[in-house]
C-alpha cells in the first residue's frame, strides 16, 4: 500500500512540467482561510488542486500563539497528505534571534530550508546607520541558521528605497552592498516596481542571492484610477522580461502572493498559476 501511494505520487511529480515544479503559494494570500486546523487542511487541498506543488507558510492563524492548534509536525503531515512542500516561511526576527534552536527544529520538522523575515524589524530606525547595525546583529544569527542547513532571506517592501541623503544610497542598497552572500533576498517584485525601481535590474544585480521571489501584478482600476494588486498577467508588469531575468538569476521558487484580492483569492491564485505555468 505504501509503495503504491509512493509510486503514484512519484509518477505525478515526473509528469509535472518544469514550470509547475517552481510555483508556490505564499499562504499570506489565504490568511483568512487558515484560522483553524480544519480550514488549513481544506485550504491546502484547494491549493494542490489548482496545481501548485508548494507553499510558503506564513500568517497561518491555526499555527499562531503559544499553544497553536496546529504545530509543525501536524502541519508537515497536512502538507504530505496533499503532496505539498514547504519551500519558505516568514518568521519574526525576535524569534529567530532569541530562540534560534527552536526555530531550527521547527523548520527541520516542516522540511523547509529557507526562512525569511518580512522586513528589517521596526526597532531599527530607517537610517543607514541603523540598517548597518542590523546587518551586524544579523550576522551571528544567519551563521547559526546556515550551520543547521537553513538559508536566511529578507523580504522587501518599498520603504527600503528611502534615501537618507538626496544622492546617497537607499536603505536597500545598504542591505545588498554591505551584507555577505549568505544574506539572501526574497524580492517582492511588486514592491520594487511600486518604489519606481526597475525590478529586472535588481534581479540581475542580486543573481545567486534570490532563491525565492514573490510575484503579484499591478493594475490600474476604474473608475478611481488607483493602482492596486492583481493576479499575475492581469496587470501591467513586464513579465516577458521579468521571468527570463529571474530564471537567469537562479531563482528556485516563484511564490505567488496577492496581499489584497478583489475577488475570490483562490480564483486569483488559479489565474496567476495558469499565466505562470505557460511561461516558465
Which of 149, 232, 227 is closest to 195 using CA atoms? 227
Confidence of residue 164 (pLDDT cuts 50, 70, 90): confident
Strands 114-117 and 226-230: unpaired
* 9 belongs to a structural domain: no
Whole-model pTM: value is: 0.91
If you average pLDDT over residues 44-59, what whole number do you get? 98
With CA atoms as reference, report the closest residue to 27 among 81, 68, 80, 84: 84
d(CA 43, CA 56): 13
pLDDT interval class at 20 (50, 70, 90): confident
Whether 10 is in a domain gets the answer no
Does the residue 203 lie in any domain?
Answer: yes
pLDDT at residue 280, as a whole number: 87
Contact 109, 70 (CB under 8 A): no
Q: For 224-243, how does the pLDDT look when each residue is reduced to its tens digit (9 = 90+)? A: 889 999 999 999 999 999 99
Domain that holds residue 182: 19-261
pLDDT value, residue 259: 97
Is the residue at 173 inside a domain? yes
How many domains are contained in the chain?
1
- The reply to whether 269 falls in a domain is no
Q: How many CB atoms lie within 10 A of CB 172?
A: 24
pLDDT at position 167: 65
Q: What CATH number does the domain containing 145 carry?
A: 3.20.20.150
Q: How many helices (DSSP H) and strands (DSSP E) are in the chain? A: 11, 10
Q: Which residues pair with 89 in a beta bridge?
A: 57, 115
Amino acid at each position: 500500500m505504501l509503495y503504491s501511494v509512493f509510486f503514484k505520487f512519484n509518477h505525478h511529480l515526473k509528469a509535472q512540467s518544469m514550470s509547475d515544479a517552481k510555483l508556490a503559494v505564499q499562504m499570506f494570500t489565504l490568511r483568512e482561510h487558515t484560522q483553524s486546523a480544519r480550514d488549513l487542511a481544506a485550504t491546502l487541498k484547494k491549493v494542490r488542486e489548482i496545481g501548485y506543488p508548494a507553499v510558503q507558510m506564513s500568517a497561518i492563524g491555526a499555527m499562531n500563539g503559544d499553544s497553536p492548534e496546529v504545530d509543525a509536525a501536524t502541519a508537515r503531515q497536512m502538507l504530505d497528505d496533499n503532496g505539498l512542500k514547504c519551500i519558505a516561511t516568514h518568521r519574526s526576527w525576535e524569534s529567530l534571534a532569541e530562540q534560534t534552536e527552536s526555530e531550527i527544529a521547527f523548520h527541520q520538522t516542516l522540511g523547509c530550508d529557507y526562512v525569511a523575515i518580512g522586513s528589517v524589524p521596526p526597532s531599527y530606525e530607517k537610517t543607514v546607520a541603523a540598517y548597518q547595525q542590523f546587518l551586524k546583529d544579523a550576522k551571528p544569527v544567519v551563521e547559526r541558521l546556515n550551520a543547521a542547513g537553513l538559508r536566511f532571506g529578507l523580504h522587501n517592501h518599498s520603504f527600503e528605497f528611502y534615501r537618507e541623503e538626496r544622492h546617497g544610497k537607499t536603505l536597500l542598497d545598504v542591505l545588498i552592498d554591505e551584507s555577505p552572500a549568505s544574506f539572501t533576498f526574497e524580492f517582492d517584485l511588486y514592491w520594487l516596481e511600486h518604489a519606481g525601481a526597475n525590478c529586472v535590474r535588481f534581479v540581475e544585480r542580486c543573481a545567486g542571492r534570490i532563491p525565492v521571489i514573490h510575484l503579484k501584478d499591478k493594475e490600474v482600476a476604474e473608475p478611481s484610477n488607483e493602482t492596486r494588486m492583481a493576479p499575475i498577467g492581469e496587470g501591467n508588469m513586464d513579465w516577458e522580461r521579468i521571468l527570463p531575468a529571474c530564471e537567469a538569476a537562479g531563482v528556485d521558487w516563484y511564490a505567488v502572493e496577492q496581499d489584497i484580492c478583489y475577488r475570490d483569492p483562490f480564483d486569483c491564485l488559479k489565474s496567476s498559476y495558469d499565466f505562470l505555468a505557460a511561461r516558465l
